[in-house]
Chains A and B, each alone.
Chain A
Amino acid sequence: MIRGQIPILRIGTTLLATIHIELRDAVAEAFQADVLTTIEKDGAAGLLIDISGLDIVDSYVARIIAETGRMAKLMGTTTVLVGMRPEVAATLIRMGYSMEGVLTALNVDDGLELLGHIVPKQRGA
Protein backbone atom coordinates (compact mmCIF):
# COMPACT_ATOMS: atom_id res chain seq x y z
CA MET A 1 0.00 0.00 0.00
CA ILE A 2 1.12 3.51 -0.84
CA ARG A 3 0.39 5.33 2.38
CA GLY A 4 0.53 9.07 2.79
CA GLN A 5 -0.23 10.06 -0.78
CA ILE A 6 -3.16 12.13 0.36
CA PRO A 7 -2.17 14.53 3.11
CA ILE A 8 -4.42 14.66 6.17
CA LEU A 9 -4.17 18.02 7.93
CA ARG A 10 -5.32 18.77 11.44
CA ILE A 11 -7.19 22.01 12.19
CA GLY A 12 -8.05 21.94 15.89
CA THR A 13 -10.24 18.92 16.41
CA THR A 14 -11.00 18.60 12.71
CA LEU A 15 -9.12 16.61 10.10
CA LEU A 16 -8.94 17.87 6.55
CA ALA A 17 -8.14 15.53 3.69
CA THR A 18 -7.88 17.09 0.26
CA ILE A 19 -8.08 14.55 -2.50
CA HIS A 20 -6.20 16.03 -5.42
CA ILE A 21 -5.18 12.89 -7.30
CA GLU A 22 -7.24 10.23 -8.92
CA LEU A 23 -8.24 7.65 -6.37
CA ARG A 24 -7.11 4.36 -7.84
CA ASP A 25 -7.84 1.16 -5.95
CA ALA A 26 -4.62 1.02 -3.95
CA VAL A 27 -4.53 4.75 -3.26
CA ALA A 28 -8.16 4.73 -2.12
CA GLU A 29 -7.57 1.89 0.32
CA ALA A 30 -4.39 3.54 1.61
CA PHE A 31 -6.32 6.77 2.10
CA GLN A 32 -8.99 4.97 4.09
CA ALA A 33 -6.38 3.30 6.27
CA ASP A 34 -4.54 6.63 6.80
CA VAL A 35 -7.71 8.41 7.91
CA LEU A 36 -8.72 5.68 10.33
CA THR A 37 -5.24 5.35 11.85
CA THR A 38 -5.05 9.09 12.39
CA ILE A 39 -8.40 9.09 14.17
CA GLU A 40 -7.37 6.11 16.26
CA LYS A 41 -4.07 7.70 17.25
CA ASP A 42 -5.05 11.28 17.99
CA GLY A 43 -8.84 11.35 17.81
CA ALA A 44 -10.89 13.90 15.88
CA ALA A 45 -14.33 15.44 16.21
CA GLY A 46 -14.80 16.00 12.56
CA LEU A 47 -13.40 14.94 9.20
CA LEU A 48 -13.64 17.03 6.03
CA ILE A 49 -13.00 15.27 2.75
CA ASP A 50 -12.46 17.85 0.04
CA ILE A 51 -13.03 16.48 -3.45
CA SER A 52 -13.15 19.79 -5.34
CA GLY A 53 -10.06 18.65 -7.24
CA LEU A 54 -11.74 15.58 -8.67
CA ASP A 55 -13.55 15.82 -11.98
CA ILE A 56 -14.30 12.12 -12.10
CA VAL A 57 -15.71 10.09 -9.23
CA ASP A 58 -16.75 6.57 -10.11
CA SER A 59 -18.97 4.33 -8.02
CA TYR A 60 -15.93 2.66 -6.45
CA VAL A 61 -14.49 5.92 -5.17
CA ALA A 62 -17.93 7.09 -4.06
CA ARG A 63 -18.32 3.85 -2.11
CA ILE A 64 -14.88 4.14 -0.50
CA ILE A 65 -15.65 7.69 0.61
CA ALA A 66 -19.09 6.77 1.97
CA GLU A 67 -17.61 3.76 3.77
CA THR A 68 -14.80 5.81 5.25
CA GLY A 69 -17.45 8.19 6.60
CA ARG A 70 -19.37 5.34 8.22
CA MET A 71 -16.19 3.85 9.70
CA ALA A 72 -15.14 7.23 11.10
CA LYS A 73 -18.62 7.61 12.56
CA LEU A 74 -18.14 4.36 14.50
CA MET A 75 -15.04 5.93 16.00
CA GLY A 76 -16.98 9.08 16.94
CA THR A 77 -15.89 11.30 14.06
CA THR A 78 -18.43 13.12 11.88
CA THR A 79 -17.53 13.25 8.19
CA VAL A 80 -18.51 15.99 5.76
CA LEU A 81 -17.86 15.66 2.06
CA VAL A 82 -17.10 19.05 0.54
CA GLY A 83 -16.64 20.67 -2.86
CA MET A 84 -18.21 18.13 -5.17
CA ARG A 85 -18.28 19.40 -8.75
CA PRO A 86 -21.61 19.75 -10.59
CA GLU A 87 -20.73 17.21 -13.28
CA VAL A 88 -19.65 14.70 -10.63
CA ALA A 89 -22.94 15.11 -8.76
CA ALA A 90 -24.93 14.71 -11.95
CA THR A 91 -23.04 11.54 -12.89
CA LEU A 92 -23.44 9.95 -9.45
CA ILE A 93 -27.19 10.66 -9.45
CA ARG A 94 -27.52 9.23 -12.95
CA MET A 95 -25.81 6.08 -11.71
CA GLY A 96 -28.36 6.01 -8.92
CA TYR A 97 -25.75 6.73 -6.29
CA SER A 98 -27.01 9.48 -3.98
CA MET A 99 -24.61 8.72 -1.09
CA GLU A 100 -27.30 8.83 1.57
CA GLY A 101 -26.10 9.32 5.09
CA VAL A 102 -23.04 11.31 4.01
CA LEU A 103 -23.07 14.94 5.08
CA THR A 104 -22.15 17.44 2.38
CA ALA A 105 -21.10 21.07 2.14
CA LEU A 106 -20.24 23.43 -0.70
CA ASN A 107 -16.72 24.24 0.48
CA VAL A 108 -14.31 23.73 3.38
CA ASP A 109 -15.57 26.87 5.07
CA ASP A 110 -19.18 25.67 5.03
CA GLY A 111 -18.01 22.22 6.07
CA LEU A 112 -16.28 23.59 9.15
CA GLU A 113 -19.38 25.61 9.97
CA LEU A 114 -21.57 22.53 9.62
CA LEU A 115 -19.29 20.54 11.89
CA GLY A 116 -19.38 23.41 14.36
CA HIS A 117 -23.17 23.01 14.53
CA ILE A 118 -23.31 19.25 14.59
CA VAL A 119 -20.43 18.11 16.72
CA PRO A 120 -21.37 19.96 19.95
CA LYS A 121 -24.93 18.66 19.62
CA GLN A 122 -23.76 15.07 19.24
CA ARG A 123 -21.42 15.38 22.15
CA GLY A 124 -24.32 16.54 24.24
CA ALA A 125 -22.93 20.03 24.70
Chain B
Amino acid sequence: MKSFSDYRKYMTILKLDEAEIQSRRAFFTLTDEDLQRLASLRPFAEKVTEEVVEQFYSLLLAHPETRKFFEDDATIRRVKRTQREYFLGLFAGKCDREYVEDRLRVGAAHERIGLAPKWYLGAYRQYLHLILNALQAELKDEERVRAAFQSIQRIVFFDVSLAIDTYIAANAEALVRHQQAIRELSTPVIRVYDRILLLPLVGAIDSIRAEQIMESVLLHVVEAQAKCIIIDIAGVPVVDTRVADHLLKTTAAVRLLGAQTILTGITAQVARTMVQLGVDVSTMHTLSRLSDGIELALGMVGKAITTAAPPAPASPSAVTPPVVGGTS
Protein backbone atom coordinates (compact mmCIF):
# COMPACT_ATOMS: atom_id res chain seq x y z
CA MET B 1 0.00 0.00 0.00
CA LYS B 2 1.22 3.42 -0.92
CA SER B 3 0.52 5.11 2.41
CA PHE B 4 2.67 2.50 4.09
CA SER B 5 5.84 3.01 2.09
CA ASP B 6 5.07 6.71 2.15
CA TYR B 7 5.91 7.23 5.78
CA ARG B 8 8.06 4.20 6.49
CA LYS B 9 10.79 5.53 4.22
CA TYR B 10 11.17 8.49 6.56
CA MET B 11 12.50 6.08 9.19
CA THR B 12 15.52 5.67 6.91
CA ILE B 13 15.67 9.27 5.66
CA LEU B 14 15.58 10.64 9.20
CA LYS B 15 17.95 7.88 10.37
CA LEU B 16 15.55 6.93 13.15
CA ASP B 17 17.36 3.92 14.50
CA GLU B 18 17.35 2.78 18.10
CA ALA B 19 20.21 5.13 19.07
CA GLU B 20 18.52 8.17 17.51
CA ILE B 21 15.23 7.40 19.25
CA GLN B 22 17.06 7.09 22.58
CA SER B 23 18.92 10.32 22.06
CA ARG B 24 15.71 12.16 21.17
CA ARG B 25 13.96 10.75 24.21
CA ALA B 26 16.86 11.86 26.40
CA PHE B 27 16.68 15.39 25.04
CA PHE B 28 12.93 15.60 25.58
CA THR B 29 13.51 14.05 29.05
CA LEU B 30 10.93 11.45 28.21
CA THR B 31 11.83 8.88 30.85
CA ASP B 32 10.53 5.39 31.53
CA GLU B 33 8.83 6.89 34.56
CA ASP B 34 6.89 9.20 32.24
CA LEU B 35 5.86 6.28 30.10
CA GLN B 36 4.66 4.38 33.19
CA ARG B 37 2.71 7.39 34.36
CA LEU B 38 1.13 7.70 30.92
CA ALA B 39 0.22 4.02 30.96
CA SER B 40 -1.41 4.46 34.36
CA LEU B 41 -3.48 7.29 32.89
CA ARG B 42 -4.89 4.97 30.24
CA PRO B 43 -8.30 4.52 32.00
CA PHE B 44 -8.58 8.30 32.20
CA ALA B 45 -7.71 8.60 28.50
CA GLU B 46 -10.30 6.04 27.51
CA LYS B 47 -12.90 7.88 29.48
CA VAL B 48 -12.23 11.33 27.98
CA THR B 49 -11.23 10.42 24.39
CA GLU B 50 -14.66 11.03 22.96
CA GLU B 51 -15.02 14.37 24.69
CA VAL B 52 -11.52 15.68 23.82
CA VAL B 53 -11.76 14.62 20.18
CA GLU B 54 -15.25 16.13 19.78
CA GLN B 55 -14.16 19.44 21.30
CA PHE B 56 -10.99 19.45 19.25
CA TYR B 57 -12.84 19.05 15.97
CA SER B 58 -15.45 21.60 16.82
CA LEU B 59 -12.55 24.06 17.27
CA LEU B 60 -10.97 23.05 13.96
CA LEU B 61 -14.25 23.22 12.09
CA ALA B 62 -15.00 26.65 13.53
CA HIS B 63 -11.91 28.10 11.92
CA PRO B 64 -12.27 28.78 8.17
CA GLU B 65 -8.62 27.97 7.33
CA THR B 66 -8.62 24.57 9.01
CA ARG B 67 -12.20 23.80 8.03
CA LYS B 68 -11.07 23.56 4.38
CA PHE B 69 -9.33 20.28 5.14
CA PHE B 70 -12.55 18.54 6.15
CA GLU B 71 -14.72 18.49 3.10
CA ASP B 72 -17.46 16.07 4.05
CA ASP B 73 -18.88 14.10 6.93
CA ALA B 74 -17.12 10.93 5.84
CA THR B 75 -13.73 12.64 6.10
CA ILE B 76 -14.63 14.04 9.50
CA ARG B 77 -15.70 10.62 10.74
CA ARG B 78 -12.50 9.10 9.45
CA VAL B 79 -10.17 11.71 10.98
CA LYS B 80 -12.02 11.53 14.28
CA ARG B 81 -11.43 7.81 14.40
CA THR B 82 -7.71 8.33 13.61
CA GLN B 83 -7.60 11.04 16.22
CA ARG B 84 -9.07 8.74 18.89
CA GLU B 85 -6.42 6.14 18.08
CA TYR B 86 -3.75 8.80 18.20
CA PHE B 87 -4.96 10.10 21.54
CA LEU B 88 -5.02 6.66 23.12
CA GLY B 89 -1.57 6.01 21.62
CA LEU B 90 -0.17 8.74 23.85
CA PHE B 91 -1.14 6.64 26.85
CA ALA B 92 0.22 3.34 25.56
CA GLY B 93 3.28 3.67 27.81
CA LYS B 94 5.53 2.77 24.90
CA CYS B 95 8.07 4.68 22.89
CA ASP B 96 9.70 2.10 20.65
CA ARG B 97 10.37 1.87 16.91
CA GLU B 98 6.80 0.91 16.23
CA TYR B 99 5.52 3.94 18.09
CA VAL B 100 7.89 6.29 16.22
CA GLU B 101 6.95 4.77 12.88
CA ASP B 102 3.30 5.33 13.66
CA ARG B 103 3.99 8.97 14.56
CA LEU B 104 5.78 9.64 11.28
CA ARG B 105 2.50 8.97 9.54
CA VAL B 106 1.12 12.15 11.08
CA GLY B 107 3.69 14.46 9.48
CA ALA B 108 3.63 12.60 6.18
CA ALA B 109 -0.17 12.70 5.99
CA HIS B 110 -0.31 16.40 6.81
CA GLU B 111 2.35 17.24 4.26
CA ARG B 112 0.47 15.24 1.64
CA ILE B 113 -2.79 17.09 2.14
CA GLY B 114 -0.93 20.40 2.22
CA LEU B 115 -1.67 21.34 5.81
CA ALA B 116 0.96 23.90 6.78
CA PRO B 117 2.89 23.36 10.04
CA LYS B 118 1.36 26.53 11.53
CA TRP B 119 -2.09 24.93 11.55
CA TYR B 120 -0.69 21.71 12.94
CA LEU B 121 1.15 23.51 15.73
CA GLY B 122 -1.77 25.83 16.50
CA ALA B 123 -4.18 22.92 16.62
CA TYR B 124 -1.82 21.00 18.85
CA ARG B 125 -1.76 23.84 21.35
CA GLN B 126 -5.54 23.74 21.55
CA TYR B 127 -5.39 20.00 21.87
CA LEU B 128 -3.05 20.29 24.87
CA HIS B 129 -5.37 22.85 26.40
CA LEU B 130 -8.30 20.44 26.11
CA ILE B 131 -6.26 17.64 27.65
CA LEU B 132 -5.28 19.87 30.56
CA ASN B 133 -8.92 20.80 31.17
CA ALA B 134 -9.91 17.16 31.15
CA LEU B 135 -7.08 16.29 33.53
CA GLN B 136 -8.09 19.00 35.96
CA ALA B 137 -11.71 17.89 35.91
CA GLU B 138 -10.72 14.27 36.41
CA LEU B 139 -7.81 14.24 38.83
CA LYS B 140 -8.69 17.27 40.96
CA ASP B 141 -5.35 17.10 42.83
CA GLU B 142 -3.10 19.96 41.57
CA GLU B 143 0.13 18.03 42.14
CA ARG B 144 -1.02 14.95 40.24
CA VAL B 145 -2.37 17.08 37.40
CA ARG B 146 0.97 18.78 37.07
CA ALA B 147 2.94 15.52 37.00
CA ALA B 148 0.55 13.96 34.51
CA PHE B 149 0.51 17.02 32.29
CA GLN B 150 4.30 17.19 32.30
CA SER B 151 4.55 13.60 31.06
CA ILE B 152 1.96 14.33 28.40
CA GLN B 153 3.85 17.42 27.30
CA ARG B 154 7.04 15.44 26.96
CA ILE B 155 5.57 12.76 24.75
CA VAL B 156 3.60 15.35 22.78
CA PHE B 157 6.70 17.41 22.03
CA PHE B 158 8.51 14.23 21.11
CA ASP B 159 5.68 13.50 18.66
CA VAL B 160 5.72 17.04 17.31
CA SER B 161 9.46 16.84 16.64
CA LEU B 162 8.91 13.71 14.58
CA ALA B 163 6.03 15.27 12.67
CA ILE B 164 7.98 18.44 11.89
CA ASP B 165 11.01 16.45 10.79
CA THR B 166 8.80 14.47 8.44
CA TYR B 167 7.34 17.70 7.08
CA ILE B 168 10.82 18.99 6.32
CA ALA B 169 12.03 15.70 4.87
CA ALA B 170 8.98 15.44 2.63
CA ASN B 171 9.48 19.00 1.49
CA ALA B 172 13.16 18.50 0.78
CA GLU B 173 12.30 15.42 -1.19
CA ALA B 174 9.79 17.32 -3.33
CA LEU B 175 12.43 19.97 -3.92
CA VAL B 176 14.96 17.40 -5.11
CA ARG B 177 12.35 15.93 -7.45
CA HIS B 178 11.56 19.33 -8.92
CA GLN B 179 15.22 20.20 -9.39
CA GLN B 180 15.68 16.92 -11.21
CA ALA B 181 12.81 17.75 -13.54
CA ILE B 182 14.11 21.25 -14.18
CA ARG B 183 17.57 19.89 -14.87
CA GLU B 184 16.26 17.50 -17.47
CA LEU B 185 14.39 20.32 -19.15
CA SER B 186 17.24 22.79 -18.91
CA THR B 187 19.44 21.62 -21.78
CA PRO B 188 17.23 20.90 -24.77
CA VAL B 189 19.59 20.34 -27.69
CA ILE B 190 17.82 20.59 -31.03
CA ARG B 191 19.11 19.44 -34.40
CA VAL B 192 18.49 22.41 -36.72
CA TYR B 193 20.05 20.90 -39.80
CA ASP B 194 22.40 18.09 -40.65
CA ARG B 195 25.45 18.65 -38.40
CA ILE B 196 24.08 21.84 -36.86
CA LEU B 197 22.75 21.87 -33.30
CA LEU B 198 20.89 24.54 -31.36
CA LEU B 199 20.75 24.95 -27.62
CA PRO B 200 18.29 27.62 -26.51
CA LEU B 201 19.09 28.55 -22.92
CA VAL B 202 16.31 29.86 -20.73
CA GLY B 203 16.66 30.93 -17.11
CA ALA B 204 19.54 31.65 -14.80
CA ILE B 205 22.79 29.72 -15.19
CA ASP B 206 24.59 28.68 -12.02
CA SER B 207 27.73 26.60 -11.90
CA ILE B 208 25.86 23.30 -11.55
CA ARG B 209 23.75 24.03 -14.58
CA ALA B 210 26.78 25.31 -16.48
CA GLU B 211 28.48 21.95 -15.88
CA GLN B 212 25.41 20.13 -17.19
CA ILE B 213 25.25 22.39 -20.20
CA MET B 214 28.87 21.65 -21.03
CA GLU B 215 28.46 17.90 -20.63
CA SER B 216 25.25 17.81 -22.60
CA VAL B 217 26.66 19.99 -25.39
CA LEU B 218 29.80 17.85 -25.75
CA LEU B 219 27.85 14.60 -25.83
CA HIS B 220 25.40 15.90 -28.41
CA VAL B 221 28.12 17.37 -30.62
CA VAL B 222 29.94 14.05 -30.82
CA GLU B 223 26.76 12.04 -31.16
CA ALA B 224 25.46 14.16 -34.04
CA GLN B 225 29.01 14.78 -35.33
CA ALA B 226 27.89 18.40 -35.43
CA LYS B 227 30.21 20.91 -37.06
CA CYS B 228 28.72 23.65 -35.02
CA ILE B 229 26.41 24.33 -32.14
CA ILE B 230 24.44 27.53 -31.75
CA ILE B 231 23.89 28.58 -28.15
CA ASP B 232 21.08 31.10 -27.89
CA ILE B 233 21.16 33.09 -24.67
CA ALA B 234 18.19 35.37 -25.35
CA GLY B 235 16.35 33.72 -22.45
CA VAL B 236 19.14 34.10 -19.91
CA PRO B 237 18.25 37.01 -17.63
CA VAL B 238 21.72 37.89 -16.36
CA VAL B 239 24.95 37.37 -18.24
CA ASP B 240 27.74 38.28 -15.86
CA THR B 241 31.43 37.42 -15.72
CA ARG B 242 30.72 33.95 -14.34
CA VAL B 243 28.14 33.03 -16.95
CA ALA B 244 30.42 34.33 -19.70
CA ASP B 245 33.26 32.27 -18.25
CA HIS B 246 31.10 29.13 -18.36
CA LEU B 247 30.19 29.84 -21.97
CA LEU B 248 33.84 30.38 -22.87
CA LYS B 249 34.78 27.08 -21.28
CA THR B 250 32.06 25.28 -23.20
CA THR B 251 33.30 26.92 -26.40
CA ALA B 252 36.87 25.83 -25.70
CA ALA B 253 35.74 22.26 -25.01
CA VAL B 254 33.63 22.18 -28.17
CA ARG B 255 36.66 23.38 -30.10
CA LEU B 256 38.70 20.48 -28.71
CA LEU B 257 36.17 18.12 -30.23
CA GLY B 258 36.66 19.80 -33.57
CA ALA B 259 33.44 21.78 -33.73
CA GLN B 260 32.54 25.43 -33.39
CA THR B 261 30.22 27.42 -31.15
CA ILE B 262 28.08 30.34 -32.19
CA LEU B 263 26.61 32.48 -29.44
CA THR B 264 23.38 34.22 -30.39
CA GLY B 265 20.66 36.17 -28.67
CA ILE B 266 22.98 38.85 -27.36
CA THR B 267 20.83 41.81 -26.50
CA ALA B 268 21.98 45.42 -26.31
CA GLN B 269 21.90 45.15 -22.52
CA VAL B 270 24.06 42.00 -22.50
CA ALA B 271 26.54 43.48 -24.98
CA ARG B 272 26.84 46.58 -22.80
CA THR B 273 27.36 44.53 -19.62
CA MET B 274 29.94 42.28 -21.23
CA VAL B 275 32.06 45.18 -22.43
CA GLN B 276 31.71 47.07 -19.17
CA LEU B 277 32.72 43.97 -17.21
CA GLY B 278 35.66 43.49 -19.52
CA VAL B 279 34.56 40.00 -20.57
CA ASP B 280 36.55 38.88 -23.58
CA VAL B 281 34.48 36.64 -25.82
CA SER B 282 36.54 37.23 -28.93
CA THR B 283 37.20 33.50 -29.22
CA MET B 284 33.50 32.94 -29.89
CA HIS B 285 31.34 33.82 -32.84
CA THR B 286 28.74 36.16 -31.37
CA LEU B 287 25.59 37.45 -33.00
CA SER B 288 22.48 39.20 -31.91
CA ARG B 289 19.86 37.34 -33.90
CA LEU B 290 19.36 33.60 -33.96
CA SER B 291 18.51 33.71 -37.68
CA ASP B 292 21.95 35.19 -38.41
CA GLY B 293 23.47 32.42 -36.31
CA ILE B 294 21.69 29.78 -38.37
CA GLU B 295 22.96 31.39 -41.58
CA LEU B 296 26.51 31.44 -40.26
CA ALA B 297 26.22 27.81 -39.18
CA LEU B 298 24.90 26.78 -42.58
CA GLY B 299 27.90 28.51 -44.12
CA MET B 300 30.15 26.33 -41.96
CA VAL B 301 28.66 23.17 -43.43
CA GLY B 302 28.82 24.62 -46.93
CA LYS B 303 25.15 25.51 -47.29
CA ALA B 304 23.38 28.80 -47.74
CA ILE B 305 19.88 30.16 -47.63
CA THR B 306 18.89 31.71 -50.95
CA THR B 307 15.79 33.42 -52.17
CA ALA B 308 13.54 31.08 -54.10
CA ALA B 309 13.30 31.68 -57.86
CA PRO B 310 10.72 34.12 -59.29
CA PRO B 311 8.28 35.05 -56.55
CA ALA B 312 4.94 33.56 -57.57
CA PRO B 313 1.97 35.93 -57.80
CA ALA B 314 0.01 35.92 -54.59
CA SER B 315 -2.86 33.66 -55.53
CA PRO B 316 -4.67 31.17 -53.32
CA SER B 317 -3.53 28.29 -55.53
CA ALA B 318 0.09 29.06 -54.58
CA VAL B 319 -0.53 28.01 -51.01
CA THR B 320 -2.49 24.87 -51.77
CA PRO B 321 -0.92 22.16 -49.65
CA PRO B 322 0.74 19.35 -51.53
CA VAL B 323 -1.16 16.09 -51.78
CA VAL B 324 0.00 13.79 -49.04
CA GLY B 325 0.54 10.11 -49.69
CA GLY B 326 -0.07 8.11 -52.84
CA THR B 327 -3.46 6.61 -52.05
CA SER B 328 -6.57 8.04 -53.65
Which residue numbers of A lie inside 8 Å of B, CB to CB? Answer: 80-90, 92-93, 98-99, 104-107, 110-111
Q: Which of B221, B222, B227, B256 contacts A93 (CB 8 A)?
A: B256
Given A86-B219, A86-B222, A90-B218, answer yes or no on A106-B258 (Cβ-Cβ < 8 Å). yes
State whether B227 touches A106 (Cβ < 8 A). yes
Between-chain CB contacts (< 8 Å), 20 pairs: A81-B256, A86-B215, A86-B221, A86-B222, A89-B218, A89-B256, A90-B253, A93-B214, A93-B252, A98-B253, A104-B255, A104-B256, A104-B257, A105-B258, A106-B227, A106-B259, A107-B225, A107-B258, A110-B225, A110-B227
A85, B257: Cα distance in complex, Å? 7
For the complex, what is the distance from the CA of A87 to the CA of B221, rounded to whole Å? 12
Which residues from chain B contact A85 at a C-beta distance below 8 Å?
A: 222
Residues of A within 8 A of B252 (CB): 93, 98
A9 to B271, CA, bound (A): 48
CA distance A92 to B225 in the complex (A): 20
- Further contacts, 18 of them, CB under 8 A, given A80-B258, A89-B253: A81-B256, A84-B256, A84-B258, A87-B218, A88-B256, A90-B214, A92-B253, A92-B256, A93-B249, A93-B252, A98-B253, A104-B256, A105-B258, A106-B258, A107-B225, A110-B227, A110-B258, A111-B258
Q: Which residue of A lies closest to B219 (CB)?
A: A86
Which chain B residues border A111 with CB–CB below 8 Å? 258
Q: Count of B residues near A, CB < 8 Å?
A: 18
Q: Which of B226, B254, B256 contacts A99 (CB 8 A)?
A: B256
CB–CB B257/A84 < 8 A: yes
Residues on B facing A (Cβ under 8 Å)? 214-215, 218-219, 221-222, 225-227, 249, 252-259
Q: How far is the CB of B177 from chain A (nearest CB, A)?
A: 27
Instruction: Give the distance in Å from the alpha carbon of A98 to the alpha carbon of B227 in the complex.
Output: 18
B302's nearest neighbour on chain A, judged by CB, is: A113
CA distance A82 to B226 in the complex (A): 13
Chain A residue contacts of B222, Cβ below 8 A: 85-86, 106
B225 and A106 within 8 A (CB): yes
Known: A86-B218, A105-B258. A93 touches B225 (CB 8 A): no
User: In this complex, what residue of B is CB-closest to A82?
Assistant: B258
Contacts of A106 in B (CB 8 A): 221-222, 225-227, 257-259
* B320 CB, min distance to chain A CBs, angstroms: 42
The residue among A83, A90, A105 with the most chain B CB atoms within 10 A of its own CB is A90
